[in-house]
Amino acid sequence: VVITGGSQGIGLSLAKHYLILGNKVTIIARNQNRLDEAVKYLSNFSNISNILAISADVSSFDDINKAIEKTINHFGKIDVLVNCAGTSVAGAFDQLDLKSFEYLMNINYLGSVYPTRAVVPYMKSNRKGKIIFISSQVSQVCIYGYTAYGASKWAIRGFAEALSMELDDFGISVQVAYPPDTDTEGYKHEMLSKPSITKKISESGHLFSSDEVALSLIKSSDLNYYSLYVGLDGWMLTQVHPGMSPVTNWGESLIQIAVSGICRIIGIFYIISWKQIIRQSNR
């Protein structure tokens, strides 16, 4: 299992639980010190020989391609790629630095495209594999303050849907995860600049631990769901937002058909309450 952004947050928790399940894991991140700390932590859950840490920049294809080659040479194969590297910048559209849009697309979107491009030829030659994209609930319902971040996460969703259609005949499954607000260092950093309106809207959801998120995503992935969710809100959003997304589990699709209407009604009341928050804050 290869996990980008695996030195902290959701990525680190995913690495932990994949190791507990008996997998060999490669974690990729830029910061070598954080990687060293992550390996020390992960060695509590598995033999250190099952862990490989590689310093690489996900926004550089050359860096990531070398990391993928190193993983294959070290472990002999790659069964699963988890694109978890990402970051967030929140702010009202007309107050955001325009460079934030390019920055977030480079890290969140291209930082998922490049590792995928590096691993797909290998998986196609083996005619098997799994690619998981860690998107966000923001790519199911985008709210005030997330014009830059939301766009970068919606891009992942569109990319994954097209890629799934291309890779299905090669035995490669594609899944998209939509984690909620998660109590990580990245979340704490985001909160420092998040607009007050965005904070108030976000309070309607639940804050999860990274372990809760990781366990839920792995469970959904093992059930071969296309959309991986966390919590009741995550489940509801997944039912109301399938659109023309791939069908990988008929049970999942039939539930979406049955409950999407009522979930849409519930969602409308959420939207009304969020608009009231915005109006009150702008007075």
Which sequence positions are flagged as catalytic?
A: 135, 149, 153
How far is the C-alpha of 226 from the C-alpha of 211, rounded, in Å?
A: 21
Tell me how crowded residue 245 is: count the other CB atoms within 10 A of its CB: 18
Please count the residues of the chain: 283
Q: Which residues pair with 126 in a beta bridge?
A: none
